[in-house]
Amino acid sequence: MSNDTGETVDVLAIGAHPDDVELACGGLLIKLARQGKRVAVLDLTRGEMGSRGDAGQREREALAAADVMGIHAREAADLPDSRLANTTEQQRAIIPFIRKYRPSVICALMAPDRHPDHSAAHALSREANYYSGLERIETGQPPYRAPRMYYFYPYAELAGAPPCVVDISDVFDTKMAALRAYQSQFHNPGYPGPATHISSKQFWEGIETRARYWGGRIGVEHGEPLYTDAPLPLATLPGL
Ligand SMILES: [Zn+2]
Protein backbone atom coordinates (compact mmCIF):
# COMPACT_ATOMS: atom_id res chain seq x y z
CA MET A 1 0.00 0.00 0.00
CA SER A 2 1.29 3.45 -0.79
CA ASN A 3 -0.04 6.79 -1.88
CA ASP A 4 0.29 6.29 -5.62
CA THR A 5 -2.60 8.61 -6.36
CA GLY A 6 -0.68 11.56 -4.98
CA GLU A 7 -3.69 12.67 -2.99
CA THR A 8 -3.46 14.45 0.31
CA VAL A 9 -4.96 13.12 3.53
CA ASP A 10 -6.84 14.52 6.50
CA VAL A 11 -4.84 12.67 9.14
CA LEU A 12 -1.26 11.38 9.20
CA ALA A 13 -0.45 9.05 12.12
CA ILE A 14 3.28 8.60 12.75
CA GLY A 15 4.55 5.60 14.74
CA ALA A 16 8.08 4.47 15.53
CA HIS A 17 7.38 0.81 14.75
CA PRO A 18 4.61 -1.01 12.89
CA ASP A 19 1.86 -1.70 15.49
CA ASP A 20 2.43 1.50 17.54
CA VAL A 21 -0.50 3.31 15.94
CA GLU A 22 -2.80 0.27 16.16
CA LEU A 23 -2.08 -0.15 19.86
CA ALA A 24 -2.45 3.50 20.76
CA CYS A 25 -4.92 5.07 18.35
CA GLY A 26 -6.15 2.26 16.10
CA GLY A 27 -9.71 2.84 17.27
CA LEU A 28 -9.49 6.54 16.46
CA LEU A 29 -8.09 5.88 12.97
CA ILE A 30 -10.82 3.31 12.24
CA LYS A 31 -13.49 5.78 13.35
CA LEU A 32 -12.07 8.56 11.20
CA ALA A 33 -11.82 6.28 8.16
CA ARG A 34 -15.45 5.25 8.65
CA GLN A 35 -16.40 8.92 8.84
CA GLY A 36 -14.93 9.37 5.37
CA LYS A 37 -11.67 11.00 6.47
CA ARG A 38 -8.56 10.13 4.54
CA VAL A 39 -6.03 8.57 6.88
CA ALA A 40 -2.38 7.65 6.23
CA VAL A 41 0.13 5.95 8.55
CA LEU A 42 3.87 6.55 8.48
CA ASP A 43 5.99 3.98 10.32
CA LEU A 44 9.38 5.58 10.98
CA THR A 45 11.10 2.15 11.06
CA ARG A 46 10.20 -1.30 9.80
CA GLY A 47 10.55 -2.83 13.26
CA GLU A 48 13.53 -4.84 12.08
CA MET A 49 15.01 -5.11 15.59
CA GLY A 50 11.99 -6.98 16.95
CA SER A 51 12.74 -10.36 18.53
CA ARG A 52 10.09 -12.15 16.45
CA GLY A 53 9.44 -12.06 12.71
CA ASP A 54 11.56 -10.13 10.21
CA ALA A 55 11.18 -6.89 8.29
CA GLY A 56 9.35 -8.58 5.39
CA GLN A 57 6.86 -10.25 7.68
CA ARG A 58 6.39 -7.06 9.68
CA GLU A 59 5.59 -5.21 6.44
CA ARG A 60 3.01 -7.79 5.40
CA GLU A 61 1.44 -7.61 8.86
CA ALA A 62 1.38 -3.79 8.79
CA LEU A 63 -0.35 -3.74 5.41
CA ALA A 64 -2.88 -6.35 6.56
CA ALA A 65 -3.61 -4.23 9.64
CA ALA A 66 -4.02 -1.16 7.42
CA ASP A 67 -6.60 -3.07 5.36
CA VAL A 68 -8.52 -3.98 8.51
CA MET A 69 -8.49 -0.33 9.65
CA GLY A 70 -9.68 0.84 6.23
CA ILE A 71 -7.05 3.55 5.91
CA HIS A 72 -5.90 5.14 2.68
CA ALA A 73 -2.12 4.69 2.71
CA ARG A 74 0.74 3.31 4.79
CA GLU A 75 4.45 3.84 4.26
CA ALA A 76 7.73 3.32 6.10
CA ALA A 77 10.40 6.01 6.39
CA ASP A 78 13.17 3.39 6.68
CA LEU A 79 14.83 5.02 9.68
CA PRO A 80 16.83 2.55 11.82
CA ASP A 81 14.90 0.62 14.47
CA SER A 82 16.35 1.13 17.99
CA ARG A 83 18.40 4.08 16.73
CA LEU A 84 15.78 6.80 16.38
CA ALA A 85 17.18 10.14 17.49
CA ASN A 86 15.99 13.69 17.04
CA THR A 87 18.65 14.65 14.52
CA THR A 88 18.51 16.95 11.52
CA GLU A 89 19.17 13.97 9.26
CA GLN A 90 16.21 11.99 10.60
CA GLN A 91 13.92 15.05 10.58
CA ARG A 92 14.78 15.55 6.91
CA ALA A 93 13.75 11.95 6.19
CA ILE A 94 10.26 12.64 7.58
CA ILE A 95 9.59 16.04 5.98
CA PRO A 96 8.94 14.65 2.44
CA PHE A 97 6.06 12.56 3.82
CA ILE A 98 4.46 15.55 5.58
CA ARG A 99 4.74 17.60 2.41
CA LYS A 100 3.40 14.75 0.28
CA TYR A 101 0.32 14.05 2.39
CA ARG A 102 -0.30 17.64 3.66
CA PRO A 103 -2.43 16.40 6.60
CA SER A 104 -4.71 18.73 8.54
CA VAL A 105 -3.82 16.77 11.67
CA ILE A 106 -0.78 14.74 12.67
CA CYS A 107 -1.09 12.10 15.40
CA ALA A 108 2.31 11.21 16.88
CA LEU A 109 3.85 9.43 19.84
CA MET A 110 3.76 11.05 23.29
CA ALA A 111 6.79 11.32 25.56
CA PRO A 112 8.30 10.37 27.92
CA ASP A 113 8.04 6.67 27.12
CA ARG A 114 10.02 3.67 28.35
CA HIS A 115 10.97 2.79 24.76
CA PRO A 116 13.66 5.29 23.71
CA ASP A 117 12.48 5.11 20.07
CA HIS A 118 9.05 6.33 21.17
CA SER A 119 10.41 9.36 22.99
CA ALA A 120 12.67 10.13 20.04
CA ALA A 121 9.75 9.75 17.61
CA HIS A 122 7.77 12.31 19.64
CA ALA A 123 10.47 14.95 19.25
CA LEU A 124 11.21 13.94 15.66
CA SER A 125 7.56 14.20 14.58
CA ARG A 126 7.04 17.58 16.27
CA GLU A 127 10.18 19.13 14.91
CA ALA A 128 9.88 17.62 11.42
CA ASN A 129 6.40 19.13 11.20
CA TYR A 130 7.74 22.54 12.22
CA TYR A 131 10.67 22.49 9.81
CA SER A 132 8.45 21.11 7.02
CA GLY A 133 6.87 24.57 6.95
CA LEU A 134 10.13 26.31 6.12
CA GLU A 135 10.55 27.35 2.49
CA ARG A 136 14.32 27.05 2.56
CA ILE A 137 14.40 23.37 3.49
CA GLU A 138 14.29 22.04 -0.02
CA THR A 139 12.79 18.67 -0.96
CA GLY A 140 11.39 19.61 -4.35
CA GLN A 141 7.94 19.96 -2.73
CA PRO A 142 6.04 23.02 -1.50
CA PRO A 143 6.55 23.67 2.23
CA TYR A 144 3.74 22.51 4.51
CA ARG A 145 3.14 22.39 8.27
CA ALA A 146 0.17 20.51 9.76
CA PRO A 147 -1.71 23.05 11.89
CA ARG A 148 -2.57 20.68 14.73
CA MET A 149 -0.89 17.71 16.42
CA TYR A 150 -2.25 15.12 18.84
CA TYR A 151 -0.19 12.59 20.77
CA PHE A 152 -0.74 8.98 21.80
CA TYR A 153 0.89 6.35 24.04
CA PRO A 154 1.06 2.71 22.84
CA TYR A 155 1.77 1.14 26.24
CA ALA A 156 1.76 3.54 29.13
CA GLU A 157 0.43 6.87 30.23
CA LEU A 158 3.14 8.75 32.01
CA ALA A 159 2.21 12.36 31.40
CA GLY A 160 -0.75 12.77 33.74
CA ALA A 161 -4.42 12.93 32.89
CA PRO A 162 -5.01 13.25 29.13
CA PRO A 163 -7.18 16.15 27.96
CA CYS A 164 -9.12 13.86 25.62
CA VAL A 165 -10.39 10.29 25.60
CA VAL A 166 -11.80 9.02 22.31
CA ASP A 167 -14.88 6.77 22.54
CA ILE A 168 -13.87 3.70 20.50
CA SER A 169 -16.61 1.36 21.81
CA ASP A 170 -18.16 0.81 18.38
CA VAL A 171 -14.84 -0.02 16.70
CA PHE A 172 -12.99 -1.82 19.49
CA ASP A 173 -13.48 -5.26 17.87
CA THR A 174 -12.01 -3.93 14.62
CA LYS A 175 -9.03 -2.48 16.50
CA MET A 176 -8.35 -5.92 17.99
CA ALA A 177 -8.71 -7.49 14.53
CA ALA A 178 -6.09 -5.04 13.21
CA LEU A 179 -3.76 -6.02 16.07
CA ARG A 180 -4.28 -9.72 15.34
CA ALA A 181 -2.81 -9.05 11.88
CA TYR A 182 0.55 -8.83 13.69
CA GLN A 183 0.79 -12.59 14.00
CA SER A 184 4.50 -12.52 14.86
CA GLN A 185 4.19 -9.88 17.58
CA PHE A 186 1.29 -10.52 19.90
CA HIS A 187 -0.06 -13.49 21.86
CA ASN A 188 -0.25 -16.30 19.31
CA PRO A 189 0.19 -19.76 20.84
CA GLY A 190 2.26 -22.02 18.63
CA TYR A 191 4.05 -19.20 16.82
CA PRO A 192 7.80 -20.00 16.65
CA GLY A 193 10.20 -17.56 18.25
CA PRO A 194 11.24 -16.28 21.66
CA ALA A 195 8.64 -15.12 24.17
CA THR A 196 8.56 -11.34 24.54
CA HIS A 197 6.77 -8.85 26.75
CA ILE A 198 4.21 -8.01 24.06
CA SER A 199 3.71 -11.65 23.00
CA SER A 200 2.51 -12.59 26.49
CA LYS A 201 -1.11 -13.40 27.26
CA GLN A 202 -1.00 -10.71 29.94
CA PHE A 203 -0.04 -8.02 27.42
CA TRP A 204 -2.82 -9.05 25.03
CA GLU A 205 -5.42 -8.97 27.79
CA GLY A 206 -3.99 -5.67 29.00
CA ILE A 207 -4.96 -4.00 25.71
CA GLU A 208 -8.62 -4.49 26.56
CA THR A 209 -8.07 -3.64 30.22
CA ARG A 210 -6.59 -0.27 29.26
CA ALA A 211 -9.35 0.39 26.72
CA ARG A 212 -11.98 -0.36 29.36
CA TYR A 213 -10.22 1.82 31.93
CA TRP A 214 -10.11 4.81 29.59
CA GLY A 215 -13.66 4.16 28.39
CA GLY A 216 -14.77 4.10 32.02
CA ARG A 217 -13.21 7.51 32.58
CA ILE A 218 -15.69 9.01 30.08
CA GLY A 219 -18.61 6.68 30.83
CA VAL A 220 -18.38 4.41 27.77
CA GLU A 221 -17.16 0.84 27.16
CA HIS A 222 -13.80 1.43 25.45
CA GLY A 223 -11.58 4.49 25.03
CA GLU A 224 -8.19 5.69 23.85
CA PRO A 225 -6.42 8.61 25.57
CA LEU A 226 -5.14 11.44 23.43
CA TYR A 227 -2.88 14.34 24.38
CA THR A 228 -2.38 17.74 22.79
CA ASP A 229 0.02 20.62 23.33
CA ALA A 230 -2.31 23.33 22.05
CA PRO A 231 -5.68 24.52 23.39
CA LEU A 232 -8.70 22.68 21.99
CA PRO A 233 -11.45 24.94 20.65
CA LEU A 234 -14.82 24.33 22.32
CA ALA A 235 -18.11 25.57 20.88
CA THR A 236 -19.93 24.39 24.01
CA LEU A 237 -19.03 22.49 27.17
CA PRO A 238 -18.77 18.69 26.97
CA GLY A 239 -21.18 17.44 29.64
CA LEU A 240 -23.96 19.85 28.77
ZN1 LIG B 1 6.91 0.94 19.24
Is the pTM of the predicted complex or chain greater than 0.85?
yes
> What's the gap in Å between 45 CA and the centre of ligand 1?
9
* 33 CA from centroid of ligand 1 (Å): 22
Alpha carbon of 130 to ligand 1 centroid (Å): 23
> Dihedral (C-alpha) 113, 118, 124, 129: value to the nearest 10 degrees?
-90
Helices 172-180 + 201-217 axis angle, to 10 = 160
Between 212 and 199, residue with greater pLDDT: 212
| Residue 196 φ/ψ region, left for φ over 0, alpha for ψ in the -120 to 50 degree band, beta for the rest | beta
Residues with CB under 5 A from ligand 1 (ion): 16-17, 20
Under 8 Å CB-to-CB from 176, ≥6 apart: which residues? 207, 208
pLDDT digits (tens, 9 = 90+) for 165-192: 999 999 999 999 999 999 888 888 888 8
Percentage of residues in the chain having pLDDT higher than 70: 98
| Cα–ligand 1 centroid distance for 136 (angstroms) | 32
11-228 — its CATH code? 3.40.50.10320
Residue 71 to residue 75: CA distance in whole angstroms = 12
Domain ranges (residues) in the chain: 11-228
Compute CA distances 166 → 25, 67, 84, 217, whole Å. 9, 21, 28, 10
How far apart are the C-alpha atoms of 25 and 147, rounded to whole Å?
A: 19
- Name the nearest CA neighbour of 91 among 60, 147, 62, 129: 129
Q: Which helix (H) or strand (E) holds 34?
A: helix 20-34
pLDDT at 160: 81
% residues pLDDT > 90 (the chain) = 78
pLDDT band for position 126 (cuts 50, 70, 90): very high
Tell me how far the alpha carbon of residue 144 lies from the centroid of ligand 1, in angstroms.
26
Q: What spacing in Å lies between the alpha carbon of 182 and ligand 1's midpoint?
A: 13
Instruction: Express each pLDDT in 64-112 by its tens digit.
Output: 999 999 999 999 999 999 999 999 999 999 999 999 999 999 999 999 9
- DSSP 8-state assignment for residue 11: E
Give the whole-angstrom CA distance, residue 202 versus residue 200: 5
Which three-class secondary structure state does DSSP give residue 129?
A: helix
The CA 94 to ligand 1 mean position distance, Å, reads 17
pLDDT band at 27 (very low <50, low <70, confident <90, very high): very high
Q: How many angstroms is it from 24 CA to the middle of ligand 1?
A: 10
Q: Considering only CA atoms, which of 39, 70, 31 is closest in space to residue 223?
A: 31
